[in-house]
Amino acid sequence: MIPKVFKEVIDLGDGREITIETGKLAKQAHGSVVVQSGKCMLLCTVVSNYEQKDLDFLPLTVDYREKFAAAGRYPGGFFKREARPSDGEVLTMRLVDRVLRPLFPKDYHSETQVMIQLMSHDPEVMPDAMAGLAASAAIQLSDFPFECAISEARVARVNGEFIINPSFAQLAESDIDMMIGASADSVMMVEGEMHEISEEEMADAIKFAHEHIKIQCAAQIRLAEAFGKKATREYQPERKDEALEKKVHDMAYDKVYAIAKAGSAKHERSAAFQQIKEDIKATFSEEELADYGGLVSDYYRKAEKAAIRDLTLDEGLRLDGRKTDEIRPIWCEVDYLPSTHGSAIFTRGETQALATVTLGTSRDANQIDMPSQEGEERFYLHYNFPPFCTGEARPIRGTSRREVGHGNLAQRALKNMIPADCPYTVRIVSEVLESNGSSSMATVCSGTMALMDAGVQMKKPVSGIAMGLISDATSGKYAVLSDILGDEDHLGDMDFKVTGTADGITACQMDIKVKGLSYEILVAALQQARNGRLHILDKLVETIAKPNADVKEHAPTMVTRRVPNEFIGALIGPGGKVIQEMQKETDTTIVINEDPVTEEGIVEILGVGRKGIDAVMARIDSILFKPTVGSIYEVKVIKMLDFGAVVEYMDAPGNEVLLHVSELAWERTENVADVVNMGDVFDVKYFGQDPRTRKEKVSRKAILPKPEGFKERPPREDSRSGGRDNRGSRDNKGRDNRRDDRKPREDKQD
Helices 401-415 and 439-454, interaxial angle, to 10°?
Answer: 50
| Count of Cβ atoms closer than 10 Å to residue 702 Cβ | 15
Q: Which of 355, 351, 337 is nearest to 431 (CA)?
A: 355
For residue 481, give the H/E element and its range: strand 478-482
- Known binding residues: 489, 495
Torsion sign across C-alpha atoms 237, 238, 242, 246: negative
Q: Which of 711, 713, 683, 680 is nearest to 698 (CA)?
A: 683
**Coil/strand/helix, residue 642:** coil
User: How far is the C-alpha of 330 from the C-alpha of 347, rounded, in Å?
Assistant: 6
- Known binding residues for Mg(2+): 489, 495
Checking phi first, is residue 712 left (phi over 0); if not, alpha (psi -120 to 50) or beta? beta
Q: Alpha helices of 492-567 — where are they, by DSSP H?
A: 519-543
Q: Alpha helices of 510-641 — where are they, by DSSP H?
A: 519-543, 568-572, 577-586, 610-624
SS3 content of the chain, % helix, strand, coil (to 5): 35, 30, 35
Q: Which of 689, 687, 690, 685 is nearest to 704 (CA)?
A: 685
Q: 723: exposed, middle or buried (C-beta count within 10 Å: 0-12, 13-18, 19+)?
A: exposed
| Residue 235: C-alpha distances to residues 58, 61, 108, 139, 461 (Å) | 13, 19, 8, 17, 53
Residues 679 and 716 sit within 8 Å (Cβ to Cβ): no
**In 265-329, beta strands by DSSP E:** none
User: How far is the C-alpha of 238 from the C-alpha of 240, rounded, in Å?
Assistant: 6
Buried b (16+ CB within 10 A) or exposed e, 185-221: eebbbbbbbbebbbbebbbbbbebbbebbebbbebbb
User: How far is the C-alpha of 273 from the C-alpha of 262, rounded, in Å?
Assistant: 12
User: How far is the C-alpha of 616 from the C-alpha of 54, rounded, in Å?
Assistant: 67
Q: Which of 537, 450, 525 is nearest to 499 (CA)?
A: 537
Please report the DSSP string for 661-674 in residue order. GGGT-SS--S-GGG
Residues 654 and 648 sit within 8 Å (Cβ to Cβ): yes
| Residue 411: C-alpha distances to residues 340, 383, 440, 464, 557 (Å) | 19, 9, 10, 12, 23
Q: What are phi and psi of 602, to 5 degrees?
A: -105, 110
